[in-house]
Amino acid sequence: MERTFQPYTMQDLMNLPDKRPRHPQVKYNRENLTIDIDTGNYTYDVDLETIPDAAELLDWMFQLREKQWMTAEMMSAFVSEFEDACFDALGAGARSTFCHGKRNVKWPTVEEMKARAKN
């Protein structure tokens, strides 16, 4: 029996399930360039413009880990949302943007992101 290769169509790819962890309390906010975390009592915002390199990202992750309200599921979702933010704002994933010795990442300003959204 001969097997034939059937390539995915764009529609097939769009219908694949997103297997990255998501959490309803952790969301990337494109308008403010933040990752917003709903703690149940207030919203904790991680300002992405304050993360120019991998060291600062790691520092944020440790800060979040120490919060009483942070769960493992929320932390995993934070990483997924950060990845989405990198693709959206910087045009590449977090690993290729922040790893391999790269430093001083320049995030677009909120105004630049708003201008992109209009186009």
pLDDT tens, residue order, the chain (119 aa): 566 666 667 676 566 566 677 889 999 999 999 999 999 999 999 999 999 999 999 999 999 999 999 999 999 999 999 999 999 999 888 988 888 766 678 888 888 888 887 77
Q: What six digits make up the tokens of 32?
A: 């403010």
Nearest-10 Cα torsion for 110, 43, 65, 47: 10
**Contact present, 82 and 92 (Cβ < 8 Å):** no
Q: What SS3 state is found at 36?
A: strand
Where in the sequence is the domain holding 107, given as residue range(s)? Answer: 21-118
- Answer whether residue 12 is part of any domain: no
Q: Is-above-0.75 flag for pTM?
A: yes
- Answer whether residue 103 is part of any domain: yes
pLDDT for the residue numbered 2: 64
- Answer whether residue 96 is part of any domain: yes
- Answer whether residue 94 is part of any domain: yes
Q: Is 98 exposed, middle or buried (0-12, 13-18, 19+ CB in 10 A)?
A: buried
Number of separate domains in the chain:
1
pLDDT for the residue numbered 12: 65
